[in-house]
Amino acid sequence: MIHRLLHLIGLDPILVVALLSMAIAQIWKGVAESLRARRLLWRRFVEPGGMPSSHAALVSGLVVGVGLSTGWTSGQASVAIVVALLAMWDAVTVRRAVGEQARVLNALLDRLEAAEAAGAPGREALIVFDV
């Protein structure tokens, strides 16, 4: 019934499932962060990053939509699964790399602050530890 209604108004059910999955994840992120902060954090409803991952939800919804529409053993479902796995793998590796970069930058800032506190002005403090 809903499938026919979506086609009548010109919407692809697979796309609707994927986008709805992403929207639910993003809304949940905003609600959860707002509850944790005990105030409404509007930015978390649209801001990227954090969990649940809205792009992982998008590709997961795509897999479900394609699998239900074309069958789980179809070539389309296989392609959707591969795309979802690649997207999630990339997300994990990017998050790990960003975390490592943040640790290095924070350590550099700590060293810079320590050098400036010891009397070395900003540029000279950077030269001290070869940046």
CA 93 to CA 7: how far, in whole Å? 38
Q: 113-129: string of b/e by CB count within 10 Å (b at 16+)?
A: eebeeeebeeeebbeee
Q: Which two tokens stand for residue 65?
A: 């939509």
Round the average pLDDT of the chain to a whole number and report it. Answer: 82
Q: pLDDT, tens digit, for every residue of 20-68?
A: 998 998 888 888 888 988 988 888 877 777 777 888 899 999 999 999 9
Q: Tell me the pTM.
A: 0.66
- Residue 122: pLDDT band (50, 70, 90) is low
Q: Which among 12, 41, 37, 10 has a CA at the least distance from the CA of 26?
A: 41
Please spell the DSSP secondary structure of 32-80, one letter per residue. Answer: HHHHHHTS--GGGGT---SSS-HHHHHHHHHHHHHHHHH-TTSHHHHHH
